[in-house]
Amino acid sequence: MMHSLKYKGNEALGEHLGYLYGLDLKMKNTFILPDCLCAVPLHPDKLKSRGFNQAAAIARGLGKALEIPFVEHLILRKENAGSQTRKKRFERWESSVMSFQMNAELQFKYLHIGLVDDIVTTGSTLEICANLLKHNGFENVQVFALCQAIN
């Protein structure tokens, strides 16, 4: 399913999986819901080649199920670090650390945010994005992902 989502353009599957994930989380009711969700961004070149941001598709479905807003384009990817699939943790962090910035055009009123990605491999991209959010006024950052890669 993840291959279909990431490489076969199945955006509807991403929203559906996010929705199912949200229903499952809602049923468990074991955490405080964030005020809003945002997605780990793709570089515009990769977005153009894929046609959509798979993390954003998941976040839209998750937001619908949890009944919380999804804030699109809150974080921007300014540099294309290339494929991260074959890189080790430090290489991922090193190639991504300067790649992200907050969207200055958006004003936000939320303090607790959910950061959504499709797959967690080393966690370095999520760490960089979470630190960016924290440095820009978000008090709490929760991470949501559908899968974790296994080495």
Sort strands 36-39 and 112-120 into parallel, antiparallel or unpaired: parallel
CB 56 within 8 A of CB 72: yes
Helix (H) / strand (E) containing 91: helix 89-96
**Confidence check: pLDDT of 71 > 80:** yes
Q: Per-residue confidence at 91, pLDDT binned at 50, 70, 90?
A: low
pLDDT the model gives residue 80: 60
- State the pLDDT at residue 88: 63
Tens-place pLDDT, residues 95-113: 566 689 999 888 778 889 9
Give the pLDDT of residue 105: 86
pLDDT in tens, 33-53: 999 999 999 988 988 888 899
Mean pLDDT calculated for residue range 73-91? 69
CATH of the domain at 86: 3.40.50.2020
Task: Supply the DSSP string of 3-48, one letter for each residue.
Answer: HHHHHS--HHHHHHHHHHHHHHHHHH--SPPPSEEEEPPPPHHHHH
Q: What is the per-residue pLDDT for 30?
A: 83
In the chain, the number of structural domains is 1
- Phi first, then psi: what are they for 45, rounded to 5°? -65, -45
Domain span holding position 106: 2-148
